Amino acid sequence: MRTWARARRARLCGRCGERIAKGAPIFEIYIEAGIFSVKVPKVRCQTCAGIPVPADLAPLVEVSSAITPTVPIPTGPHVLPLDFKSQQFREPGEEG
């Protein structure tokens, strides 16, 4: 399968080695052979693709993958008791 897409990060063309900026159009070539397919596409720049970029190519939409806590997590010196180290210590055989 061959398709146009926007570069989600800075890439290099797989044919000429030209630097492709983030958000620039790239030509992706997915190799498929029967039931097998290569997951990572081959990337080509606009010059090496040989076909013009479609005018209706969607702009790059960035999706944030940052993990944000949904519950406020307390931080600071008041979170742990002052003697938390001594509370972790137990004598051998001591219950707790």
Closest distance between Zn ion and the C-beta of residue 59, in Å? 22
Closest distance between Zn ion and the C-beta of residue 24, in Å? 12
Nearer to Zn ion, 16 or 57 (CB): 16
Going by the DSSP 8-state scheme, the letter that residue 74 receives in this structure is P
Nearer to Zn ion, 50 or 72 (CB): 50
Give DSSP secondary structure letters for 21-64. Answer: -TTSEEEEE--EETTEE-SSPEEE-HHHH-SPPPTTPPPP----
Closest distance between Zn ion and the C-beta of residue 69, in Å? 43
Nearer to Zn ion, 19 or 65 (CB): 19
Closest distance between Zn ion and the C-beta of residue 23, in Å? 17
Distance CA 92, CA 96 (A): 11
C-alpha dist (Å) from residue 49 to 4, 17, 43, 52 = 9, 13, 9, 8
Which residues lie near Zn ion (CB under 5 A)? 13, 15-16, 18, 45, 48
Nearer to Zn ion, 41 or 45 (CB): 45
